[in-house]
Structure 1
């Protein structure tokens, strides 16, 4: 009977430790969820910036098109002016060619001046008219030359403006592409964090389910369930208890709790069978604190225990109540080389630099690495995105033949729970 009383005290205490660990893990997962939401908000802000940049690029493109159409119009005016100038020059040459024979004729026909006075007067009048026409054409030519010079200056100014608009448009396009790449990288980071969050949530649900299953096996009623459990325990065979022990040990390992000795595992298994025999009188603890439940059960067990309890059973009960220290996790060791970490390929160089590539998102990042006393530290990232995850500090834990990453006491480790496989 004292032995059953000790187990009734030890099991709620163990469940309390498991519940505290589950609460801490839930708080960590809540923090990870907040980080993922912040990344999503940042992604939304970047999407708005990209939309604004695209709108500005569209406006500049329309300005460039308008400038090009204006340039084409000015060029057409320039070509028309040049054509008119060519016509004037041709007419000037024609008139000059016509004037030269007239002058030669005047010089050669001095002897026939009297006879050709009338013709000379007419020729002089024609000459004057041609000269006036020539002066008019010369003035028009000067005006056209000034217009051509002005149009040429405007064309050069438009060319310069168009080059500036093209360079500005190229810069905006490059900025939009950079923002798009950053948005893609952030989407990849958010997807990775979402996967990690889902994995941690699933682990938390499994842990809570195991805690609930263990709670259902603990009696909370008065002396009657304890007495029934004690009576059933006196007739229990050791074989079923030994068969129940390995699953309990496996559940403790999966929940991240320390291992307990084999005798302590056998005793809760036997007690679980005893409680199943008297399940009509047992109920799961819900609202009571673990310490208060343990104290109440201990008091009830003392009331129900017979006065003639053997003295030699007391050391065994004290041994069952005293928790034994659990073995510490084996510290892993990481050396230079190429490793696979989930969707990542990481190359650690002996000079202290590393290169990490995400094969799914086709992004990479470089930086400094250090593995000392079972802690892997990644810092000084360059390239890629998600630099907010750095510096990254993870514990190296060796489980069986696998090397895993775990959360350290201090620092950020978004890769926690992933295996490290040497390539």
Structure 2
């Protein structure tokens, strides 16, 4: 018996409300910290406001159900989230003119291909092994390059709309000092206040109809550019930045996530949500610790309740997804991009650190980063794919020269 389990058995059981509350906090932090990134990404690859709101709803419902299924079935605090790095990839890809061949229907097709690849990872372990062989420095450098333009939004926003963005940034900084976990959610609340003040100032009336959640189904199309330039990078960043770290974080708390069932559930969830605009769901990484740590419950055997609570909370938040999307739609210029950029600061810093940590891998990582950040589109294929190609080519040449 582990020391943690021994201590838990010796102490009186904590009230069941504790893991339930931990799950609610996990969902609130995960949702409010990154929903703006998801909406930005979906809009960037061609989704209308209604389609982006539908995508947010689809992702919320599928990851909520996935949390409940996995946590209940395996009695572990397994939590599922949407792919925030994947949403950032969509945003970076879509802002490049001509990057998405076929528009929104092709993006939906790319989401389905991503789902198929996740399912294939569960059924064919060799595919997971292939992803694992991509050097972490290259994968993280690609992610950092994708995130860079989005992380600049708070800075450019201060110049574009100082009265709207400065209060959000100052709020984020103060809360980051006092309660880092809540910095982005509270910054979002500050943004909501900015939006409300602007609506009152302009006397804008809100149509209640836009607050009701609706599913907007899109028939997928499949294009080479979208599959190569969007689906493959989306799959890689989802696996390398979410699923693999998610397993490692759970293992650090003594839980061995069942890999194949987890990939089957998240792959099916992605496939079900794709026609409604959901881009990808995966194992939670950073937010996984909120439900799996001793703070959720001293007894490791009872923390699975936090996983179920997280899923139920995501279902509730999904019901309010249209209201969150409406807030983004009504926001003054630069305010929501600033919130999205602040939400990605930590991910950007982590990606940069991992990309350049090994001096021997630094030059290929720098090349990967620069190509990804350039936003180039060649033959209808986005920069993220070419960044991987460039980084791997440079790495191969340099390493072969050293032999």
Q: Give the shorter-chain TM-score range.
A: under 0.3
Which entry has the higher C-alpha Rg, 1 or 2? 1
Higher strand content, 1 or 2: 1
Q: Higher relative contact order by CA 8 Å / sep ≥ 6: 1 or 2?
A: 2
State the TM-score, normalizing by the size of structure 2.
Answer: 0.23
Structure with more of its chain in helix, by fraction: 2
Normalised TM-score (structure 1): 0.22
